[in-house]
Structure 1
Amino acid sequence: MEKFTDQDVLFEDNHYIAINKRGGDIVQVDNTGDKSMEEMLSVYLAQKYNKPNAAFVGVIHRLDRPVSGMILFAKTSKGLDRMNRLFHDRKVKKTYLALVREKPAQMKGKLQNWLLRDRKKMVTKAYDREVKNGSFAELDYEVVGTLEGYYLLKVMPVTGRTHQIRCQLAYMGCPLVGDNKYGYPRGSLKRTICLHSRSLAFVHPVKEEDMLIKAPLPVDGFWEKFNVLLHDQV
């Protein structure tokens, strides 16, 4: 994607803007040289509000490149600092939707592992015990439903580690559809994986209002069929 339009915006106020990220977009500049969401959003805001220079955009959290869904950016330094504090204090409830082929052993559960990042291979490994230089990771999951041999999971990470959901689900025997980096038999032709950032819930750190921002499922000829399994609570 080369630029944002109003249709990509899920929420906006004076301090924040939420974008429905498409799988394949990068959040920040990397060594690929591809245009990042941070850059595109700065241009979008500058044009929308007739700013002569690039608009301020603060990256609050990140999603892996092949992941789709809701991502929140700050429009002011004040908003960035306060939202960073909420994330640090784990006062933001994150919910993801994941598609897997293998049926989880339990319909709902908690995964607790120690994760170790292999920076050469750019993968994360999970362990049942504490490991040197490892980081503790925890998430809750629940099977929402099944359709055409796929299982739709609601995933709620407690911690925020690199590739945490991808790694922990694969470790329990349920790699994400399309995620051949973590054991799925084949990758996606679209270079995406079936992991979607569904929502963020938090108390607005400036307005002190309860917030729940949701991202609809991607319209890509595959994801949208799973809308029949969703309900108001997901």
Structure 2
Amino acid sequence: MSSVNINVLYEDNHLLVVEKPVNILSQGDNTNDKDMVNLLKAYLKEKYNKPGNVYLGLVHRLDRPVGGAMVFAKTSKAASRLSEQVRNKTFKKTYRAVINGKMRKQSDTLKDYLYKNKKTNMVSVVSESHKDSKYAELSYATLAFKDKMSLVQIDLKTGRPHQIRVQFASRNNPLVGDQRYGKNSKVGQQIALWSYKIEIVHPVTKEKMEFVCEPPKEYPWNVFDK
């Protein structure tokens, strides 16, 4: 796949579920850097020897630095039905993250109002009365604590830009490696946020499906394997 090795987790006539590598765009932008949509279109074109354009529907996005499970649609019908699941929240996304320190509670629900500054591309927690604020909610559970870091599992209730990063950073527990919202991250260190599990209803068979993608066996994830 154009020198980017992408792990396919599941594929049928309607769905393509893959492990998105870190630092690859979900969709092309003005940087012209490699992106998942075009890489996977090239993969489908080559695999099925298809002439002309290949259809691939982008159902949801992951921030560029985030890796893990990602679902794409191979038909417009599947794309429409999966997008509807995203809207009605039957498309469930579970993340894992390594945060600095320890949250006050072992598990909790975080509720905030977020504002994205389009000029700086920075997101901040604001009051509910802020005219451009968007409600953000997630639940987390702490799985382990070691070396002044916590491994947390996150059930994302709303999908706001940079939501996970901002909600933890605002409580003084920024994600390890987050140079944008954390103060002590080393330059070049990868942000420790991973799309761990996606649950959907198959757009055609209506079967409930679950796709799990384990984080990489590298720092800081491997700290919790020992």
Fold similarity call, TM over 0.5: yes
1:208 aligns with 2:206: yes
Q: Which structure 2 residue ranges, 5 or more long, are not aligned?
A: none
| 1:41 alignment partner in structure 2 | 40
Pairwise mapping of residues 107-146 of structure 1 onto structure 2 (< 5 A)? 107-146=106-145
Gaps of 5+ in 1: 229-234
For the Cα contact (< 8 Å) 2:14–2:74, is it kept in 1? yes
Q: Number of residue pairs matched?
A: 226
Distance change >3 Å, CA 102–CA 153, structure 1 → 2: same
**Matched residues in 2 for 1:177 and 1:142: separation?**
17
Q: Which runs of 4+ in 1 moved over 3 A?
A: 1-5, 219-222, 224-228
Alignment-derived partner of residue 232 in structure 1: none
1 CA distance for matches of 2:145 and 2:55?
42
Q: Is the 8 A contact 1:68 1:218 kept in 2?
A: no
* Secondary structure of the corresponding residue to residue 182 of structure 1: coil
Q: What do residues 124-180 of structure 1 show as CA deviations (whole Å, max 9, x unaligned)?
A: 111353421110010001101123332100011101111111111111211001112
Q: Normalized against structure 1, the TM-score is what?
A: 0.90
1:54-82 per-residue CA deviation (whole Å, 9 max, x = no partner) reads 32111000000011111111111010000
Residue 39 of structure 1 and its aligned partner are, at CA, apart by: 0.4
1:29 aligns with 2:28: yes
Q: Which residue of 1 aligns with 2:149?
A: 150
* C-alpha contact 1:170 1:182 (8 A) present in aligned 2: yes
Residue 182 in 1 paired to residue 181 in 2?
yes
Contact kept in structure 2, 1:99 and 1:195, CA below 8 Å: yes
- Opposite residue 18 of structure 2, the aligned amino acid is I
Is the aligned partner of 1:197 residue 2:195?
Answer: yes
- Structure 1 CA distance for aligned equivalents of residues 166 and 207 of structure 2: 34
- Pick closer, same or farther for the CA change 1:200–1:210 going to 2, 3 Å: same
Is residue 142–residue 151 contact of structure 2 (8 Å, CA) maintained in 1? yes
User: Separation in 1 of the partners of 2:197 and 2:111?
Assistant: 22
Corresponding position: 1:80 with 2:68: no
Do the aligned partners of 2:127 and 2:133 also contact (CA within 8 Å) in 1?
A: no
For 2:82 and 2:129, locate their aligned partners in 1 and report how far apart those are by CA, in whole Å: 30
Q: State how far apart, in whole Å, the 2-side matches of 1:227 and 1:73 are.
A: 31
**CA distance, structure 1, for counterparts of residue 80 and residue 168 of structure 2:** 32
Q: Percent identity?
A: 36
What CA RMSD, in Å, does the superposition of the two structures yield over aligned residues? 1.7
Shift, 1:200, TM fit: 0.6
Q: Does the CA contact (< 8 Å) of 1:112 and 1:128 recur in 2?
A: no
Question: Does the CA-based 8 Å contact 1:67-1:193 persist in structure 2?
Answer: yes
> Any conservation in 2 of the 1:98–1:154 contact (CA below 8 Å)?
yes
Q: In 1, are the aligned partners of 2:98 and 2:220 still within 8 Å (CA)?
A: no
**Cα deviations across residues 11-61 of structure 1 (Å, max 9, x unaligned)?**
111111111111111111112111211101000011111112232111000
Q: CA deviation at 1:218?
A: 1.8
CA contact (8 A) 2:8 2:17 kept: yes
Partner of 1:167: 166
**Larger displacement relative to structure 2 (127-136 or 164-173):** 127-136
Deviation at 1:119, TM superposition (A): 0.9
Match of 2:96 in 1: 97
TM-score norm. by structure 2 comes to 0.93
